[in-house]
Amino acid sequence: MAKIKKILIANRGEIALRIMRTAHQLGIETVAVYSKADKQAPHVRFANEAIAIGPAPSSASYLDMDRIFDAARRSGADAIHPGYGFLSENADFAQSVEDHGLTFIGPSAHSIRVMGNKLAAKEAISNFTIPIVPGSPDAITELADAREVANSIGYPILIKAAAGGGGKGMRVVHQVSDLEEQMSRAIGEAESAFGDGAVFIEKYVTAPRHIEIQILADQHGTVVHLFERECSIQRRHQKVIEEAPSVVTDDVMRGKMGEAAIRVAKACNYVGAGTVEFLVDAERNFYFLEMNTRLQVEHPVTECITGVDLVEQQIRIAQGEKLSFVQEDLSIEGHALELRVYAEDPWNDFAPSVGTLFRYRPPTSEDIRYDDGFEEGMEIPIYYDPLIGKLVVHGSSRTVAVEKMLEAISSFHIDGVSTTLPFGRFVLNHPGFLSGNFNTHFIDQHFSAEKLDDEFELDRKTAALVALKLYLEQQSQLKLPTQPPSNWRKVRQNFTRR
């Protein structure tokens, strides 16, 4: 395989920038693509060249394969990196890239196809001794079948989109009376989000933790794992805070999960960077959930504790290089935390917050890594994911990492949109999180707008007092009366004496 000379990044925002940074470090040129809404975005200016690919809606731009290939042709790119989301787990796209004679920086279309469908994935790993959660082996379309499966597994159950990912297309059902509505909503969401309305049913593991293993596989048969990430702080099944390593694993468990993850990767002939997700129950049993055949949003925490640049490895693997290290070379150093800074309002059930970043000054310090795709003054576009950036810290221990994250949050100046930063502070001060004794229900169990208010009561009252003090100081300096002119005073007294 030949060295890659020019990569077209078929993505936007923070991940496009992040990929380009590594590409440039490796001496590889980059091509950015952008929709009309992203014309002024940083990733467009950072790349060596940029090509417009259509109007704002994703379906007409970042998801439009023809436009992507046209941009590749015009720019002379010899490789495409799909980032995450968009076309990254579209097997047809991966195949098309190869058919066009370009290098796809990711796994083969076959791996994507097999692991992209949760039912097919379960089928593929069935001979590899990998524990899985009890569930329906096939897709379910009839309500009667759903009822039957749900009854045999036992409530609560989870309805999941077979083609799903990123927390979309999942519905928990606690009782049979909710089944019909939840089935129809799940199928609808699956159809519109993934173009495939197939859903299946799984046992809903109560009090589960979501722990995933990062793997790297080269084209020469070597597969290694880069330990785990704990991703249980989620709302609506979307991750908000991740960390590496997990509090709940020990070396033995980590070794077993790592080996299972490697077997999963081998089961689909995986090449590149991938993540194997597991559910961990209260007894620390782990069950295979799914494999994500792409680089994940939360990959930075793994990079922090291992010192490995995963994008660099993706590129090297795509170029046909052998992995330059073996499993024994990898070790965990310290502890890393990531807070996803979403444009969402935690006071309003995390409703998306639109607006302009009229004040935007992220913290800068040695132990802070902040991956974003925005600048002060930019508007948050409504067409895409509301992710502003990823705030990542690395500390010598979990306690130190938590302190650093709290410090980072307090130095993060942002105004114009609501964000998940206050939520991050709430979690990092919460004994449930600090003890490490939490699961995916943490937000439901411990968080509310009222509790968030309590967390910020002192700050808020202090700000009000500061303003009042400034006002009174200025008032006394200017010697202006607050009371109305004297002939009104009698009138006021009449009104106030009730």
Catalytic machinery residues:
294
Number of residues binding to another protein, judged by CB under 8 A: 51
* Site pattern 415..444 for another protein (x: CB under 8 A): x-----xx----------------------
Question: Of 15-23, 74-82, 265-273, 377-385, which part binds another protein (CB under 8 A)?
Answer: 377-385
* Site pattern 281..310 for another protein (x: CB under 8 A): ------------------------------
**Least distance in angstroms from the C-beta of 123 to another protein:** 29
Q: Does 478 bind another protein (CB under 8 A)?
A: yes
Among 326, 458, 486, 490, interactor with another protein by CB under 8 A: 458
Q: Does 168 bind another protein (CB under 8 A)?
A: yes
Question: Of 246-254, 285-293, 332-340, 472-480, which part binds another protein (CB under 8 A)?
Answer: 472-480
Q: Does 183 bind another protein (CB under 8 A)?
A: no
Residue closer to another protein, measured from CB, 326 or 495: 495
**Least distance in angstroms from the C-beta of 299 to another protein:** 21
Among 141, 285, 411, 429, interactor with another protein by CB under 8 A: 411
Residue closer to another protein, measured from CB, 244 or 414: 414
Among 28, 409, 427, 443, interactor with another protein by CB under 8 A: 409
Residue closer to another protein, measured from CB, 298 or 385: 385
Residue closer to another protein, measured from CB, 22 or 61: 61
Q: Does 475 bind another protein (CB under 8 A)?
A: yes
Q: Does 339 bind another protein (CB under 8 A)?
A: no
Residue closer to another protein, measured from CB, 175 or 462: 462
**Least distance in angstroms from the C-beta of 242 to another protein:** 20
Residue closer to another protein, measured from CB, 4 or 414: 414
Q: Does 172 bind another protein (CB under 8 A)?
A: no
- What HEC string does the chain produce? CCCCCEEEECCCHHHHHHHHHHHHHCCCEEEEEECHHHCCCHHHHHCCEEEECCCCCHHHCCCCHHHHHHHHHHHCCCEEECCCCCCCCCHHHHHHHHHCCCEECCCCHHHHHHHHCHHHHHHHHCCCCCCECCECCCCECCHHHHHHHHHHHCCCEEEEECCCCCCCCEEEECCHHHHHHHHHHHHHHHHHHHCCCCEEEEECCCCCEEEEEEEEECCCCCEEEEEEEEEEEEECCEEEEEEECCCCCCHHHHHHHHHHHHHHHHHCCCCEEEEEEEEECCCCCEEEEEEECCCCCCHHHHHHHHCCCHHHHHHHHHCCCCCCCCHHHCCCCCEEEEEEEECEEHHHCCEECCCECCEEECCCCCCEEEEECCCCCCECCCCCCCEEEEEEEEECCHHHHHHHHHHHHHCCEEECCCCCHHHHHHHHCCHHHHCCCCCCCHHHHHCCHHHHHHHHHHHHHHHHHHHHHHHHHHHHHHCCCCCCCHHHHHHHHHHHCC
Q: Does 337 bind another protein (CB under 8 A)?
A: no
Residues that bind another protein (CB under 8 A): 168, 185, 189, 193, 236, 347-348, 351-354, 359, 382, 384-386, 409-415, 421-422, 453, 456, 458-472, 474-475, 478, 482-484, 492, 495-496
